[in-house]
Homo-oligomer: A and B are copies of this chain.
Amino acid sequence: MRHAVILAGGSGTRLWPASRAARPKQFVPFGKSGETLLESAIHRAAAVAPGGITIVTARTLEDATRELVRNLRIGPPIEVLAEPIGRNTAAAIGLGAAEIASRDPSALLVVLPADQRISDEAGFITAVTRGLEAVERDDVIGTLGIVPTRAETGFGYVEVADATLGQVVPVLRFVEKPDRETAEGYLASGRYLWNAGIFLISARRLLRELDEHLADTSNAVREIAANPERASQLYPRLPSVSLDHAVMEKATRVVTVPASIGWDDVGSWLAMPAVYGSDANDNAVAGAALLDGRGNIVSSDDGTVIVAIGVSDLVIVKSGNAVLVIPKSQAQDVRGIVDALAARDDLKRFT
């Protein structure tokens, strides 16, 4: 059966103040639907994973996650696994795979980060289905390769010889986040696709790859799948490493499905124009606002009006008990702001 593993343990400080330690990015309502990113991910998973959905989250977010799941009405059964401490994606995906394999040893997995946005759901389903057929038929590892729309330096890429949309093509290599110049070369070449962190793989193959490349982790996640109470003891000892780095970059027979499906990782406030669109003056606005400048990104998620007169190219956000004002050119640095707040006794309650 086809199962989904949703990675939902992220702390999401880059969308502060909408995201907080206690309410990370995946719990933030986003886009015109007002749906949280995690809800969207679950609906997306339900469309491709009739066998069930396993959400891997952090113990600190377990209650919030179960609460959100309880209020959803979807077909496939949903399981919530809570990691006692974050150990990056290799451990999280391994845990999901081991747990699913203990019930369904021949499971095929669709691994989905919870904090992404995909506007073309039908295109997503088509691409995943195409990829899963190849995984099942050829025992390959599949990914979605997103056709880039800008010279993004914040994502990893996969190189391919042929980026024909909807085809299943071999991955020549994985490359890490490039610098600006390299990213522009990638974009111009047409042979580099964004690595969206969406993986298609059989549970059996995944655990076999972990056995080979990350044996401590594969042993631990198998043990935890059998005895969940072992997690607190075993997790802290695991290496913190991404699946990309631990497995994908080393594995053979990796394929990708080039896709153009309105994907974005909502990694910072700069993703807002893609989500909400922009007006004639290039302002992207969510919530009530009065503006007369250009190129502003303005978000209010609680009915507060934002009046920004005589200013341009600013990010202005009101959420909960905080207001953020920062030039767009610095909006990638929001994580540093959260760190600065956390370092001050009088302000750390706002993180």
* Chain A interfacial positions (CB closer than 8 Å to B): 17, 288, 290, 300, 303-311, 314, 316, 318, 321-327, 329-330, 333, 337, 340-341, 344, 346-347, 350
What separation, in Å, do the CA atoms of A58 and B7 have in the docked complex? 59
| Minimal Cβ-Cβ distance residue in B for A336 | B309
Least CB distance from A283 to B in Å reads 13
Each complex incorporates copies of this chain amounting to 2
**Is A323's CB under 8 angstroms from B307's CB?**
yes
Candidates B17, B325, B327; contact of A325 at CB < 8 Å: B325
Contacting residues, chain B, for A310 (C-beta < 8 A): 326-327, 329-330
Most chain B CB neighbours (cut-off 10 Å) among A307, A310, A330, A340? A307
- Pull 29 A–B residue pairs with CB atoms less than 8 Å apart, ordered by A: A17-B307, A288-B346, A290-B340, A290-B341, A290-B344, A303-B321, A304-B322, A304-B323, A305-B321, A305-B341, A305-B347, A306-B323, A306-B325, A307-B322, A307-B337, A307-B341, A308-B326, A309-B326, A309-B337, A310-B326, A310-B327, A310-B329, A310-B330, A311-B314, A311-B327, A314-B325, A316-B325, A318-B323, A323-B323
Whole-angstrom distance between the Cβ of A297 and the nearest chain B Cβ: 12
Return A278 CB to nearest CB of chain B, in Å: 18
- The CA-CA distance from A34 to B338 in the complex, in Å, is 29
Q: CB-nearest residue of chain B relative to A304?
A: B321
- With A and B bound together, what is the CA distance between A30 and B269 in angstroms? 33
List, in ascending order, chain B residues with CB within 8 A of A333's CB: 309
B contact residues around A321 at 8 Å (CB): 303-305
Q: Which residues of B contact A311 (CB under 8 A)?
A: 314, 325-327
Q: How far is the CA of A308 from the CA of B308 in the complex (A)?
A: 14
Measured CB to CB, the closest approach of chain B to A281, in angstroms, equals: 15
What CA separation (Å) do A291 and B325 show in the bound complex?
Answer: 10
Q: Given B307, B322, B344, which contacts A324 in the complex, CB threshold below 8 Å?
A: B307
User: When chains A and B are docked, how far (Å) is the Cα of A303 from the Cα of B326?
Assistant: 20
> Across the interface, do B350 and A330 meet the contact criterion of CB distance under 8 Å?
no
Residues on the B chain within 8 Å of A303, using CB:
321
